[in-house]
Structure 1
Amino acid sequence: MITKIAIAEDNFLLAKSVQERLSFYDEFKIKFLSVNGKDLIEKLEKDPNVDLILMDIEMPKMNGIEATQFVKNRYPQIKILILTVFDNDANIFNAIKAGADGYLLKETSPQELKKSILEVLEGGAAMSPSIAFKTLKLLRNPQEFENRKCDEDIKLSTREIEVLEQLSRGLNYNIIAINLFLSPSTIRKHIENIYTKLQVHNKLEAIEKARTSRLI
């Protein structure tokens, strides 16, 4: 039996990488790729004949958690497996609350991805080991999660997180601009936005708060 899969991922190269990992297995067929949650929903409305969605979290227009909630309400038979680089507690909690059937990190191997897809299709809840551990901690210490939730609700874009990661390595604006294929003025603007969102005043405070909130 062929499993029809949709991929929701705004990074074209990452989407193609996932597609290539699944191409090893004849039992999987990629139905379509979507660049964000809104695009995914529009494609499902035209053809909802999909068994499973591999869903990224950070996407423009409609993120993966919002899309998961919408799809689960409209098409409850479709399984949703989160596939992301973000492993902070708020994303895990909100994805599960939205109805996700599993949560994997993008470093997952082709074999583990296949195993997880089959597990979800059979009614299981596939998770990367580190995600399963965090989920148990959330269940055991819900109050601790609530105390940290304000910090974890900080919304930084994927690009802002990339800039922060580069900053944390001690790189200057010009080097970051070269590494990310952006202009130095664009990097400065991203850093201004980061300071505003994190409510900090300098680079050291930004890096410290980002690490405390598990953004980097």
Structure 2
Amino acid sequence: MNTPIAIIDDNNFLIKSVKDKLSFLTDISIVFTANDGQQCLEKLNLNARVKLILMDIEMPRLNGIEATAQIKQKYPQIKIIMLTVFDDDENIFKAIQSGADGYLLKETSSPELYNAILQTLEGGAAMTPSIALKTLNLLRSPLPIANNEVEDSVKLTGREVEVLEQLAVGLPYKSIAENLIISPSTVRRHIENIYKKLQVHSKVEAIELAKRKRII
């Protein structure tokens, strides 16, 4: 069965380049492309069966980081890999905060891109090695995280806490569903409720805030 993915970039030449890198694969199909985040959201409204999005950062109307945050809020099941030329700390940090599941540079080779897609679909976090090193450094000396003024009175249900605890150890939705004997769609609903209660837009923010509030 083909895995449906989308490519979002304001440069059509680079979209073609990514398509060419994936053209030899029989288990991946590109269902649509878009030139900015707003166009991506519009196309998702018509076709939300996409499993993974390769997302550029610098784009008109709605950039990749802002688009990722909105997509993750509305379609938390969709995996998003940032595919960009930007490797500065601020963009990496903001991308992770927005909910990005991976971060690759556009120089990534075809086999590396394919492996990153598979790894991300299985619940991993694919990163170009230099980006992974920068991410570790950010974890050692993190930038200020927004939403740290969430009311202490916020209460999660017991089930929501269980879902968040399993999300915090890196388990994918399917594994969480199997462990808790619920459906993946129920896991997604719990996560959506967690985001709303904690006033966050990504699993990274939710886990970080829950730890600081001693919820998990």
TM-score higher than 0.5 here? yes
Matches within 5 A, 1:14-163: 14-142=14-142, 145=143
The count of corresponding residues between Structure 1 and Structure 2 is 144
Aligned to 1:31, the other structure's residue is in SS state strand
Q: Which runs of 4+ in 1 moved over 6 A?
A: none
TM-superposed CA distance for 1:103, in Å, is: 0.2
**1:115 Cα shift?**
0.3
Please give the secondary structure, in 2, of the residue aligned with 1:25: coil
Identity of aligned residues (%): 60
Offset, 1:138: 0.4
Query: Structure 1 CA distance, aligned partners of 2:102 and 2:128?
Result: 9
Structure 2 residue runs of 5 or longer lacking an equivalent are: 145-216
Q: Structure 2: how far apart are the matches of 1:139 and 1:93? A: 9
Cα RMSD over matched residues?
A: 0.8
List runs of 5+ in structure 1 lacking aligned partners: 147-216
Q: Rg larger in 1 or in 2?
A: 1
SS of structure 2 residue aligned to 1:21: helix
Aligned with 1:126: secondary structure? Answer: coil
Which residue identity does 1:12 align to in structure 2?
N
Amino acid at match of 1:118: L
What residue is the counterpart of 1:5 in the other structure? Answer: 5
- Taking the aligned partners of 2:41 and 2:141, their CA distance within structure 1 comes to 35
Q: Give the drift of 1:24.
A: 1.3
Once the two structures are TM-superposed, the CA of residue 128 in structure 1 deviates from its matched residue by: 0.2
In structure 1, C-alpha distance between the alignment counterparts of 2:141 and 2:73, rounded to whole Å = 29
Bigger relative contact order, structure 1 or 2, given CA contacts below 8 A and separation 6+? 2
Deviations 1:180-208 (A, max 9, x none): xxxxxxxxxxxxxxxxxxxxxxxxxxxxx
2:123 aligns to what SS in structure 1? coil
Q: TM-score, normalising length from structure 1?
A: 0.66
Structure with the bigger percentage of helix: 1
Q: Distance in 2 between matches of 1:11 and 1:43?
A: 18
